[in-house]
Structure 1
Amino acid sequence: MLPQLLDPSEGILFCALVAAGFVGSFYLFPGALFASRNDPAVIRNRFKASLGSCVVSSVSMVLLLQYKGVIGYEVSILGLFHSLGFRFDGLMAALFLPLLLTAVIFFGPIMSEGLIHEALPFQPGFNSAFNIFALRTYVVGPIVEEIVFRMCMIPPLKASGFSNVAIIFGSPLFFGIAHLHHAWEAYRQGGSTPHALRQAVSSSIFQLAYTSVFGAYSAFLFLRTGHIAAPILCHMFCNYLGFPDFEAIRHDPKLKTALMACYVGGVAAFSFMLFPLTEPGMYHSVLW
């Protein structure tokens, strides 16, 4: 348990600065403001920016916590990593159980992918291509976002006296708002028209909603397990499956009932398994 030595306003301000720095770093490169996020050169530049954000945010958080006396200057590097979610005790459980839990709630979409799209591994529609776009979506994005928005934000918020519930439902707002910069590109690609503006706003509101929901789940996993590996792996898994394609159920009336049962059953099983599979004692969590 981290001692509560930060003022709540300091914790919130730190998180806001970290989020602003993360997004702002994407636009430090020449021409970045008007470049497409899917341009390979832009992606490579954002890889560099993300890495820089991880380093700056992590170092800044440690210095803040040390300055405020939350962690001592005498703490070893190993002890520091342990406090930030990089440790071996409870690691196997953190690598497997949260991922299993996430697969359970995605049981409906997984069955839909397999039965309708035939896009699961070893099926004809499975996309095994690995390129810079896949690297961004399935590897780099989840790692840097979980480090910046979970590992670097949750400890200062805990040290500011915020409850677990407040952190789970409050901290994802930084994560969701940080994705709103995509609206600018959507607006430009749509022709910078009033219609494009409406489309950009509506898509951004939707993105804010689902990134905030996922952020709450990710914060819950980090707090309950105390391992940053848990939300990283679940983030990778969710990015691979994407947002559930509910429309696909209607395309095959023969499978509609079975798929609906899979969706409902997955949500029900997830609700039943959520707390038992994330019991902090199994992971030796120091954050919950």
Structure 2
Amino acid sequence: MTSAISRPQTPASSAPTRLIATDLDGTLLRDDKSVSDRTVAALAAAEAVGIEVFFVTGRPARWMNVVSDHVHGHGLAICGNGAAVVDLHGGPGSHRFIKVRELPRTAALNVVTVLRAAAPGTSFAIERTGGLHHEPAYPPLHLEPGESVAPAEKLLAEDSYVVDQPVLKVLAHHPDLAPDAFLTLAREAVGDRAMITRSSPSALLEISGPGVSKASTLELCCAERGITPEEVVAFGDMPNDIEMLSWAGTSYAMGNAHPDVVAAASGRTVANNDDGVAVVIERILERHGQAN
């Protein structure tokens, strides 16, 4: 998607900003997965005046290297659509799980059974704290080899050699269905057994434990800091950001955002390739300076 606006549309808010929560892919990151110099400077400036920055992403912890050099202060990120809070201090490969909100193994098995029946042809991958495991038919969407390859029922079996590693999410891919149609079908079939969302342009669904989302884990982190929703500014571009954008007191859909995200956000900024997050942070810092 391309930007449909030339400058941010800023929602009115009188609350001071204490925390910035931003998605990564399609939001903070440019399409080439880089963090621009302007964005790096904006993140550092926000932290320097006491505004905490949380990266809130569907990515697993091991894919956080792209931003681990840009963490400041607490150094925490919310990964796996809320399934884990990770300390990124120490750089690539040395992250530490602070909080894990797992999808129970039996619930994961139940979801696999339901989706096999509702959408024949679906293939699955299992994201655990120790790595990715997938079925033979699951496509190498990110050119990442699995720790093991087997049917999902075996990967989730009670005697699996990684049964001690919590399941963060199940990934479900369909080769033929349209992405939004697959999401709607899966939500209707699974019901409240799990949270289902999507962030990929392909028909790839991300399935977390009941009640686990970017929003609910961000809410927990904010409560621990005494930060209210009104003091949070959030950014996103895809359906897995909708709950977070709805929860935050001020939220921005990127210029390249999915239409449902635009409808959920209270404001809109320019596209990720135009540094839409940095543009808004700079305005927040201007207001912060005026208030001081």
TM-score (norm 2): 0.25
Structure number with greater CO (CA < 8 Å, separation at least 6) is: 1
Q: Looking at secondary structure, tell me which structure has more strand per residue.
A: 2
